[in-house]
Structure 1
Amino acid sequence: MAEIVSEVLIERLAAWGVDTVFGIPGDGINGIMEGLRRHADKVRFVLVHHEEAAAFMATAHAKATGRIGVCLATSGPGGVHLANGLYDAKLDHAPVLAITGLQESSVLGTAYQQEVALDRLFEDVTEYNQVVMNPAQLPAVVDIAIRTAYARRGVAHLTVPNDVQIAPAHADPYQTVAPVRPPATSPVHLSPTVRPAEDDLRRAADILNGGRKVAILAGIGARGAGQLVEEAAQKLGAPIVKSLLGKMVVPDDSPYVIGGLGLLGTKPSEELMEEADTLLMLGTNFPYTKFLPEPGKARVVQVELDPTRAGTRIPTDLPLVGDVGVTLEGLLPLLDRKDGDHLRDYQERFADWQHAMAALESPERDPIAPQYLAHQLDVQAADDAVLCCDSGTIATWAARHWQIRGQREFYLSGTLATMAPGLPYAIGIQHAFPGRQVIAYVGDGGFAMLMAEFHTAVRYRLPIKVVINNNNSLGQILWEQMVLGFPEHGVRFGEPLPDFAGWASGCGGFGIRVEKPGEVAGALAEALAFDGPALLDVAVNPDEPPLPGKVTYEQAKKFAASFLKGQPNKASIATTLFKDKIQQLRG
C-alpha cells in the first residue's frame, strides 16, 4: 500500500509526542482519517459529537499537560465549529494545533460546496496559519506549526486540500526548489529559561523593600513556583491574592493566601488592593483594572515572560521580563524581611470572610444553596482531583468554595469565559490522566450546549463525574441585568425541565437528580464512587445572588432600582438575601 501525504502528517505528529487527536470525520478529511487509521498504534483518534468540543478538549489537554493539544475538523462548517474553542486556547495561552480539510485544489475559488477559506477565517486566532498546497511542504510546516504554538503559547492551524491529503508521500509535482527536509530524529521544543538582569533584580528589590504594605497578585504564569511565591510573601509580609486562572498556583490553606480578586473574589482581597502601597504581580495579565490599585497609588513590580504584556493593565514602575520561578530565585536573596503586622491584619480579615462563606454552606437551607453543593464537592473530592469549571455563577461558587489542597488542579475558560467547556475539558483531561479523579462542575445552561459529549465519555469508558449546578436559568446574566438596574428578562428556562439524569442513564452512565438538601451528600458520594461516567443533577436555588466580595454603593443602587422597575421574582430574591444574612449572623 503506497504511503500517502496524510501518513506523513500523522507520523510527524507522533514524532512530536502527540498521542491523541480530538475531532469528527467528514468528506473534507477522509484522507487524514485514513492516515490516522493506518497509524492508529501511534496516534489515537477520539470521536466527539461536536467540533467545538474537540477544540475545548485539545485546549484542556494542553493546559493540563503542557503538551500541544490537537483537534481535527472537516472543511467548511466543521472547521467553523472549532473557532470558539480555539479562541479559548488563544486567550488563555494554550498551545493547540487545529487541522482542517479543504476542497480539492483544482476547485478552490469557484464557490464549490462548503468552500470556506478557513485560513482566512482563523487569521485572528492563530500564531501560525498555513494552507498545504504541495506534499513536499508538509513535514516542514508541521514542525513550524507545532514549534510556533509552543513558543508563542497559542494556536497553529494547517488546512490540507483533499487531493493533497491522498497524494503520494513526499511528491513534489513542481520541483522548482529543493523542499525543506526536517531531521529524521524526534523533534523537541525547549522553553528558554528567561532571567532578568541582576541590575533589574536589585532595582525591583529596592522597590519592594521600600514598601510598607506590600501585596502579591499571582496568576497562572506562576504555576510551578508556588513555594517560591510563599517564600516571597513570608519575607515581604505580603498577603497573596490569586487570579482565578492562578487559583492552583498556591494552596488555599496557605497562611499567606486571602482569596481571589474581582467579582468572584473576596472582600479582603479588594481591600488589600485599595490599601497597598506596593504590588508584586507574578505571571498575571489580570484584565479587570478596576480591581487593581488606582494608578499612582502603589508602586508596581511585574514579572512577565512576554514583554509585550508587561505594564498593559496598570502603570508599572519596573517590568521584569522572565520566568516567575527563575526570577524569584534571583530576587529572594535581595529582599529584606519585614514584620508581619500587615500580613496578620489581612489574615484576620480573611478568617472573618471564611466564616461568612462557611455560614452560607448550610445544609438546612431549602431550596438547596449552591454554596452547599460546592462545599460538599470540596469535602468529598479527592486531594488530587481535577475540577473543570464552566463560566457563569458556577465559577463564583468554585472560586469561593472549592479549595486547592494537596495535588488538586482547577481549569476553566479564564479569559474568553465562554459557556460549555466544563464537560469537554473533563474528557480531554481524563484522556491525559486516566488514573485521576476528574470532575466537570457545570451549570445547566453550559451543560445543555454540549451534553452529547457525556455519551463520548461513556463510549471511551472515561470515569468523569459531572455535577450540574441546576438553577434552570442563565444565572450570571440574571444578576448582571439587575446590577445594571434592569429587571431580569429572558434568562429563566421554565418548564418543562430537561431530564439530564435520564440522559446520562440513557447513554449508559450513572445519572441521578437531587432536589432536597438532605439528599446532596449521599447522592454525590454515590456518583463519585461509581465506576464509570456519572452525572449528578442538583436543583439549586435560582435566586441565590453571586454577590461580589465588596458591594459598591453604585451596584446596590442599581440593584434596588431593578426591584422598583418591576423585578418579576423580587419576593423570592429578597427572601434568599434575607436568609443569607441571617445564616451569616448565626454562623
Structure 2
Amino acid sequence: MARTTSDHIVERLLDWGIDTIFGINGDAVNGFFESLRTHADRMRYVHVRHEENAALAAVGHAKFTGRPAACVSTAGPGAVHLLNGLYDAEVDGVPVIAITGMTYHDVIGAHLLQDLNSDYLFRDACAFSERVMGPAHAVNATDLAVRKALAAGAPGHLAIPIDIQSWTEDTWSDKNPAGHTSLATQRHVVAPPEEQLRQAAALLGDCRNVVIMAGAGARGAGQELEQVAETLAAPIVKAGLGKDSVPDDSPLTTGGMGLIGTRPSHEAMENCDGFLIVGSSTPYYEFWPKPGQARAVQIDNDPSKIGMRYPVEVGLAGDAHTVLSSLRPLLERKRDRSFLDNAQSGMAAWWQLQRDQAAGTERPMKPQAVAHHLGEVLPDRAVLTSDAGTVTAWGSRVPLRRGMSYSFSGTHCTMGSALPYAVGAKIADPGRPVVALTGDGALSMGMGELATLAQYDLSITVIVLRNDSLALEAWEQNAMLGNPQYGCELSPIDFAGVAESCGVRAFRIDKPPEVADLLSTALQRGGPTLVECVVDPYESPFAETIKPVQAERIANAFERGEPARERMSRSMLESDRRGLSPAVRHSEHELRRHGQQG
C-alpha cells in the first residue's frame, strides 16, 4: 500500500528512536491514528484521559531518560489542552514532539468546527512549529522538529490538516529531493577555554567560604560535583530541580533552598564569600548571596543564562560534567574545613528535626511523617515525582539515596503533573520503581489518570497528601501579602474510594503509627496503587526558612483575621522549629499574640 503523510511521520519518528506516544484521539487527528494502528507493533500508544497529561507524560519520559517521547491531540480544544504541558517542557528544558490535527486544508480560516491555527499558536512554546503540507513535506518537517527539539531542549510541533494526514500522492519540488535529510545529530558540547578555567579556579581559590548552587543542569554530573565540593570544602545547595544531582545522604549537601529549603542552606548562602553556580537559574535568587557579597563563577550549558541571576565574574559555558571535570584538576584542596563542618552540623540538626516531627502522634498527622517514612521505604533506584503545592515542600524533604531520581514541574509549577510524569517514567523504564507524590488539589485536577494506571496495569504508587485545602496558597497569601487566606478550602474527596472505583488498589492512612508499615506494604504489592494520607493543612512548609519581612506579614495577616491563625502560629512556634528560624524568633511576640487571639 502507498504510504500516507502520517505513515511518513510515524516511521521517521521511529527512525529517530521515538517509539512512544501519549494522547487522545479525535476526528481531526484520526488519519494519524490509522497510522498509529498500522504501526502498533513498533510505536507504543498510551491513551491518557486529558491532553495536558499526554504532554506531561512525555515530559516525564524525557526528564528521566533524556530521550524524547511524543504526544498527540485533536484540533481546537485538544490542542489547547496540550499546550500547558508543552510549556512545562519548554521551561524545564526537555525535548518532546507534539502532533496536532487541524481542519481540512482548503477551509482553514473559514470558521469550521475546531478551526484553530495550532501551528501559529504553538510557536512561543516550541522550538519548531510548522504545518505539514503533504507526504513530500512530512520527512523534512519531522526531521526539523526532532532536530530542533533535541538541540534546544524544548518541544517540536507538527500540525497536520485532517485530509493531508491520509494523502498518499504529492509532488516533490526540486528543492526537496527525496533522501536529502539524515538522522545525523550531535549533542551540543562546549568546553570553555583553558584561560577561563584557570581564572575560575584562581577566583574560587581566593575565597574562604565557597558555596555551590546545583540546579537541573547539574543532573548527571553528581560525581564531579561532589569531587569539586570536597576539594573546595564547599556545601552543595540544591535548587528544586537539582534535588537528585547528588543524593540527600551525601555529607556534602545541605539540601534545598528557597522558602521550601533548609536552614543550613540559607546559612551557607548568608555567610559565603565565594559562589559557584552549576546549571541553575532558579527564580528564587533572593535567597542567594546578596549582590557583591560573594565572588561568583557560573557554569551553564546555555551561555545566555550566565549572569542572569547573579553578577558573576567568570562564566563557563558548557555542560556540567565536561566543565567540572576540566575545572577540578586546577583547584587546590582547602585546608580550612570549618565552613563545610558548620554546614554538616547544621544538617545533622535539620534531619533530626525532620525525624522528631515525623515521630509526632497528633492528628491530623504532620506531612513530615509521610516524607520521612517514604524516604526510609523507597526501593533502590526509585523514581520519585512530586507536584505543585505544599507537597513541593514535603517532596523536597524525602531523603533520596544514591541511584534514585526525582523531578517535578520546577519552574512552570504545573499542578497535577506528578501523576502523568510518573506514567511517562514508568512507560520509559518499566523495571524501575515509580512513586508519584501529589496533593489533593493537584490530584483532583487529573484523577482520570488513575484509570490510565489500571488500563495499562502500571506498577506506580500514588501517594496523595489530603488536607482538604490549597494549603500553600493559604500560607503564601499570609506570607507574601499579609492577607488572611481566601478561596483555599476544598470539598473533601474520598481518594481511596475513587481509586478503587478506577481499578486501583487503595490504602488510607490517618494515624501516624501506621505510616511506615502501610507505605512499605503499598510499595511492595506491585500493580497500580494509591495511598491516601490525611495530613494537617496548617503545618508550615517554610517556618524555618522565611525571612523576617515574611514573618511580619504573617503576623499582619493574623492581626487582620486569618481564620486559622491559632493553628498556624502553633505550627510556626514549635520549640525545635523556632530554634532554627531567626525570622520566626524575630517576630515571635507578634505571631504568638495575634495567634492566641484565634
Deviation at 1:552, TM superposition (A): 2.3
Letter in 2 for 1:348: S
SS of residue in 2 equivalent to 1:28: helix
Alignment counterpart, residue 497 of structure 2, candidates 497, 502, 524: 502
Q: Quick check: 2:353–2:576 contact (8 Å CA) kept in 1? A: no
Which residue in the other structure is 2:315 paired with? 319
Deviation at 1:316, TM superposition (A): 1.1
Structure 1 CA distance for aligned equivalents of residues 307 and 571 of structure 2: 42
Structure 2 CA distance for aligned equivalents of residues 435 and 75 of structure 1: 35
Q: In the alignment, does 2:51 pair up with 1:51?
A: yes
Structure 2 CA distance for aligned equivalents of residues 222 and 180 of structure 1: 42
Structure 1 CA distance for aligned equivalents of residues 81 and 125 of structure 2: 13
Q: Where does 1:388-403 land on structure 2 (aligned, <5 Å)?
A: 388-400=385-397, 402-403=398-399
Q: Quick check: 1:359–1:584 contact (8 Å CA) kept in 2? A: no
Letter in 1 for 2:170: D
Which residue in the other structure is 2:376 paired with? 379
Which residue in the other structure is 1:164 paired with? 164
Q: In the alignment, does 2:32 pair up with 1:32?
A: yes
Q: Quick check: 1:226–1:249 contact (8 Å CA) kept in 2? A: yes
355-364 vs 142-151, greater mean Cα deviation: 355-364
498-507 vs 350-359, greater mean Cα deviation: 350-359
Q: In the alignment, does 2:533 pair up with 1:538?
A: yes
Which residue in the other structure is 1:361 paired with? 358
Structure 2 CA distance for aligned equivalents of residues 408 and 84 of structure 1: 27
Deviation at 1:192, TM superposition (A): 3.3
40-49 vs 361-370, greater mean Cα deviation: 361-370
Structure 1 CA distance for aligned equivalents of residues 26 and 77 of structure 2: 10
Which residue in the other structure is 1:491 paired with? 488
Alignment counterpart, residue 279 of structure 1, candidates 275, 280, 304: 275
Deviation at 1:219, TM superposition (A): 1.3
User: Residues 148, 353 of structure 1: CA spacing in aligned structure 2 closer, same or farther, 3 A cutoff?
Assistant: same
Q: Structure 1 length normalisation: TM-score? A: 0.96
Structure 1 CA distance for aligned equivalents of residues 30 and 314 of structure 2: 53
Letter in 1 for 2:378: A
Deviation at 1:62, TM superposition (A): 0.7
Structure 1 CA distance for aligned equivalents of residues 346 and 362 of structure 2: 26
Which residue in the other structure is 2:583 paired with? none
* Cα shift readout 1:128-164 (whole Å, capped 9, x = no counterpart): 1101113201101101110100001111110011111
Q: Where does 1:436-451 land on structure 2 (aligned, <5 Å)?
A: 436-451=432-447
Which residue in the other structure is 1:330 paired with? 326
Alignment counterpart, residue 301 of structure 2, candidates 272, 284, 305: 305
Q: Quick check: 2:415–2:442 contact (8 Å CA) kept in 1? A: yes
Deviation at 1:523, TM superposition (A): 2.3
Q: Quick check: 2:240–2:257 contact (8 Å CA) kept in 1? A: yes
User: Residues 292, 181 of structure 1: CA spacing in aligned structure 2 closer, same or farther, 3 A cutoff?
Assistant: farther
User: Residues 89, 246 of structure 1: CA spacing in aligned structure 2 closer, same or farther, 3 A cutoff?
Assistant: same
Which residue in the other structure is 1:567 paired with? 562
Deviation at 1:522, TM superposition (A): 2.8
418-427 vs 521-530, greater mean Cα deviation: 521-530
Sequence identity percentage: 42
Letter in 2 for 1:453: E
Which residue in the other structure is 2:589 paired with? none
Q: In the alignment, does 2:575 pair up with 1:581?
A: yes
Which residue in the other structure is 2:428 paired with? 432
Deviation at 1:571, TM superposition (A): 2.8
Deviation at 1:255, TM superposition (A): 1.4
Structure 2 CA distance for aligned equivalents of residues 573 and 277 of structure 1: 36
Alignment counterpart, residue 200 of structure 1, candidates 184, 196, 199: 196
Which residue in the other structure is 1:261 paired with? 257
Letter in 2 for 1:354: W
Structure 2 CA distance for aligned equivalents of residues 295 and 216 of structure 1: 16
The root-mean-square deviation of aligned C-alpha atoms, in Å, is 1.6
Q: Quick check: 2:359–2:512 contact (8 Å CA) kept in 1? A: no
Deviation at 1:582, TM superposition (A): 6.2
Q: Where does 1:86-97 land on structure 2 (aligned, <5 Å)?
A: 86-97=86-97
Which residue in the other structure is 2:586 paired with? none
Letter in 2 for 1:106: D
Letter in 1 for 2:542: L
Structure 2 CA distance for aligned equivalents of residues 257 and 574 of structure 1: 30
Which residue in the other structure is 1:60 paired with? 60
Structure 1 CA distance for aligned equivalents of residues 466 and 82 of structure 2: 27
Q: Quick check: 2:386–2:437 contact (8 Å CA) kept in 1? A: yes
Gaps of 5+ in 1: none
Structure 2 CA distance for aligned equivalents of residues 240 and 398 of structure 1: 18
Structure 1 CA distance for aligned equivalents of residues 568 and 292 of structure 2: 40
Q: In the alignment, does 2:517 pair up with 1:522?
A: yes
* Cα shift readout 1:161-192 (whole Å, capped 9, x = no counterpart): 11110000xx334x54342434697x253213
Structure 2 CA distance for aligned equivalents of residues 88 and 510 of structure 1: 30
User: Residues 358, 333 of structure 1: CA spacing in aligned structure 2 closer, same or farther, 3 A cutoff?
Assistant: same
* Cα shift readout 1:308-340 (whole Å, capped 9, x = no counterpart): 111111111011111211111211111111111
Structure 1 CA distance for aligned equivalents of residues 266 and 179 of structure 2: 52
Structure 2 CA distance for aligned equivalents of residues 88 and 176 of structure 1: 37
Structure 2 CA distance for aligned equivalents of residues 360 and 6 of structure 1: 56
SS of residue in 2 equivalent to 1:34: helix
Letter in 2 for 1:412: F
User: Residues 486, 52 of structure 1: CA spacing in aligned structure 2 closer, same or farther, 3 A cutoff?
Assistant: same
Q: Structure 2 length normalisation: TM-score? A: 0.94
SS of residue in 2 equivalent to 1:414: coil
Letter in 1 for 2:38: R
Deviation at 1:216, TM superposition (A): 0.8
Structure 2 CA distance for aligned equivalents of residues 141 and 556 of structure 1: 54
384-393 vs 504-513, greater mean Cα deviation: 504-513
253-262 vs 1-10, greater mean Cα deviation: 1-10
SS of residue in 2 equivalent to 1:45: strand
Structure 2 CA distance for aligned equivalents of residues 481 and 88 of structure 1: 25
SS of residue in 1 equivalent to 2:441: helix
Structure 2 CA distance for aligned equivalents of residues 158 and 328 of structure 1: 37
Q: In the alignment, does 2:244 pair up with 1:241?
A: no
Letter in 2 for 1:245: L
Letter in 1 for 2:275: L
Deviation at 1:359, TM superposition (A): 1.6
User: Residues 105, 271 of structure 1: CA spacing in aligned structure 2 closer, same or farther, 3 A cutoff?
Assistant: same
Q: Quick check: 1:276–1:298 contact (8 Å CA) kept in 2? A: yes
SS of residue in 2 equivalent to 1:129: strand
User: Residues 18, 131 of structure 1: CA spacing in aligned structure 2 closer, same or farther, 3 A cutoff?
Assistant: same
* Cα shift readout 1:459-490 (whole Å, capped 9, x = no counterpart): 10101000011111101101001112111111
Which residue in the other structure is 1:412 paired with? 408
Count of aligned pairs: 577
Q: In the alignment, does 2:456 pair up with 1:467?
A: no
Which residue in the other structure is 1:138 paired with? 138
Deviation at 1:220, TM superposition (A): 1.6
Structure 2 CA distance for aligned equivalents of residues 35 and 245 of structure 1: 37
Q: Quick check: 1:245–1:412 contact (8 Å CA) kept in 2? A: yes
Letter in 1 for 2:273: D
Q: Quick check: 1:482–1:488 contact (8 Å CA) kept in 2? A: yes
Structure 1 CA distance for aligned equivalents of residues 219 and 542 of structure 2: 28
Q: Quick check: 1:359–1:583 contact (8 Å CA) kept in 2? A: no
Letter in 2 for 1:581: S
72-81 vs 364-373, greater mean Cα deviation: 364-373
Structure 2 CA distance for aligned equivalents of residues 183 and 9 of structure 1: 16
Structure 1 CA distance for aligned equivalents of residues 184 and 527 of structure 2: 35
Deviation at 1:572, TM superposition (A): 2.8
